[in-house]
């Protein structure tokens, strides 16, 4: 154990024990305590010791340096084991650790207390967020067998721009052009992918193409989106309080959003019965909305929405829900985290109607290390994109794929691919 770390812990206990006796500001009291109890140390070491005491007293202790590192995307703590972090999509083990479970519990309490949330043996699971917007998940014993588990997903205050996604390899300029035109044409887009695939980041970038004069309502479980339009109303779900009252679910917020005169509704993630209310909104005039869902492909995303809508216990027949899904969404964008840590859009599909309901026609795919436009748009969506005008981000032929005229081969844009089959014809993957 680092002797300075042990001394910082001991002095923190003394600081807390005399909390009611001291006068003056807390940083000044910490420095006075350090000068009095560790005067033999050099000035640099005393400054470092005071900083460590402050971190333990009103910060997150040994996690503070990791939170200050802009390259860290996620922090994972499991009891007193070494802390793991994610940098550039890869996991790394650090030399940082909590010396005692009690110190980790103190850090968790400092996160939850200002938010009015709790985590204890009777309620060992909790979601919260830091003041900077970073998302926090807590699991306590007895569910966490090796000590309290704390996961912090960092929030980028300024987010990524469309150009950043191109430079990072998430998508090519041609695909960015296509998606920007789709958003401007008020196509409803569903972004799917696994945990940590970058769905929310892509959703945030797509939202940047929403018009400046539109009223946008965002609904999230934990606020992460940062839209740059001047007329944005941000709503966040609320868990029940200590008495089990006061819960406000995403479903209630979606219903309420319909009364707020939104031009577009953006739901950070669909994960429950609010799916039915979102389908209702998208099928009754609120086109151009955006959302994300956990799924591994466009076909799985449509099935997932169907299952979530059935959780609403309204009793609608499957056929009616499938019809709503076919009406609600225009495009499904699938994103994945590659083995090298890169987050990439691997598929884009148009939602078409077939005899059994919605189906996903793959327009774009990342195959064998290269982008491929596999099919042309249907006439209806193509006309909407034409009406939206040129994209503000560049030409649709920027993915570098050779031009070809046969669906399934490399083509430069959806307009160069083979004509789209009529609804119900081969080439569409059904959702059911």
For residue 227, which of 242, 211, 244, 245 has the smallest C-alpha distance?
A: 211
Q: What is the pLDDT of residue 23?
A: 55
Stretch (H or E) spanning 9? helix 3-17
List per-block mean pLDDT (blocks of 10 residues) for the chain, which spans 432 residues: 70 65 66 81 83 73 87 94 92 90 89 80 85 87 95 80 92 94 95 92 94 94 86 90 83 93 94 92 88 96 95 87 93 94 94 90 92 89 87 52 37 50 43 48
Where helices occur in 78-144 by DSSP H, the ranges are 101-112
Amino acid 18: pLDDT? 60
pLDDT digits (tens, 9 = 90+) for 19-69: 555 555 667 778 788 888 887 888 888 888 888 777 766 678 889 889 889
Q: What is the pLDDT of residue 410?
A: 42
Q: 3-state class of 224 per DSSP?
A: coil
Q: Which residues contact 412 (CB under 8 A, 6 or more apart)?
A: 174, 373, 396, 397, 399, 401, 402, 403
DSSP summary character for residue 4? H
Q: Rounded to whole angstroms, what are the CA distances from 151 to 58, 78, 100, 127, 299? A: 19, 9, 17, 10, 30
Taking the C-alpha atoms of 274, 344, 358 and 257 in order, what is their torsion angle to the nearest 10 degrees?
Answer: 30
Return the sign of the alpha-carbon dihedral for residues 116, 117, 119, 121: positive
Distance CA 22, CA 314 (A): 60
- pTM listed for this prediction: 0.77
Task: Give the strand order in the sheet containing 149-153.
Answer: 90-93, 84-87, 72-78, 149-153, 135-139, 125-129
The whole-number pLDDT of residue 141 equals 94
CA 184 to CA 196: how far, in whole Å? 27
Q: Are 336 and 344 in contact (CB under 8 A)?
A: yes
Residues in the chain: 432
pLDDT of residue 37: 80
Which pLDDT value is given to residue 404?
Answer: 34
């Amino acid at each position: 154990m680092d002797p300075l770390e042990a001394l910082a812990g001991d002095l923190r206990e003394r600081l807390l024990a005399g909390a009611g006796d001291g006068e003056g500001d807390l940083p000044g009291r910490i420095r006075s305590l350090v000068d009095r109890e560790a005067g033999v140390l050099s000035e640099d070491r005393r400054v470092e010791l005071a900083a460590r005491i402050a971190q333990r007293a009103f910060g997150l202790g040994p996690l503070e340096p990791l939170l200050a590192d802009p390259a860290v995307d996620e922090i994972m703590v499991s009891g007193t084991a070494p802390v793991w972090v994610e940098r550039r999509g890869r996991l790394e083990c650090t030399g940082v650790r909590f010396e005692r479970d009690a110190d980790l519990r103190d850090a968790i309490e400092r996160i939850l207390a200002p938010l009015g949330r709790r985590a204890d043996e009777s309620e060992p699971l909790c979601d919260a967020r830091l003041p900077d917007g970073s998302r926090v998940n807590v699991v306590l014993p007895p569910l966490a067998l090796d000590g309290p588990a704390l996961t912090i997903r960092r929030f980028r205050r300024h987010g990524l721009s469309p150009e950043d996604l191109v430079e990072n390899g998430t998508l090519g300029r041609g695909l960015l052009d296509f998606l920007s035109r789709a958003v401007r044409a008020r196509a409803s887009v569903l972004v799917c992918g696994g945990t940590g695939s970058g769905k929310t980041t892509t959703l945030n970038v797509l939202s940047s193409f929403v018009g400046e004069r539109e009223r946008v309502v965002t609904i999230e479980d934990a606020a992460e989106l940062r839209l740059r339009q001047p007329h944005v109303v941000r709503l966040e779900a609320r868990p029940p309080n200590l008495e089990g009252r006061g819960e406000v679910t995403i479903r209630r917020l979606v219903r309420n959003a319909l009364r707020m005169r939104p031009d577009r509704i953006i739901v950070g993630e669909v994960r429950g019965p609010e799916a039915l209310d979102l389908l209702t909104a998208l099928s009754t005039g609120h086109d151009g909305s955006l959302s994300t869902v956990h799924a591994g492909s466009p076909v799985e995303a449509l099935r997932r929405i169907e299952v979530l809508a059935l959780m609403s216990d309204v009793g609608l027949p499957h056929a009616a829900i499938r019809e709503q899904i076919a009406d609600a969404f225009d495009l499904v964008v699938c994103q994945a985290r590659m083995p090298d840590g890169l987050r990439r859009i691997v598929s884009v599909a148009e939602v078409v109607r077939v005899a059994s309901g919605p189906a996903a026609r793959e327009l774009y795919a990342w195959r064998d290390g290269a982008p491929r436009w596999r099919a042309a748009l249907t006439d209806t969506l193509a006309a909407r994109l034409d009406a939206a005008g040129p994209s503000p981000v560049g030409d649709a032929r920027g993915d570098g794929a050779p031009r070809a005229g046969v669906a399934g081969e490399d083509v430069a844009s959806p307009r160069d691919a083979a004509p789209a089959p009529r609804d119900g014809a081969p080439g569409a993957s059904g959702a059911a």
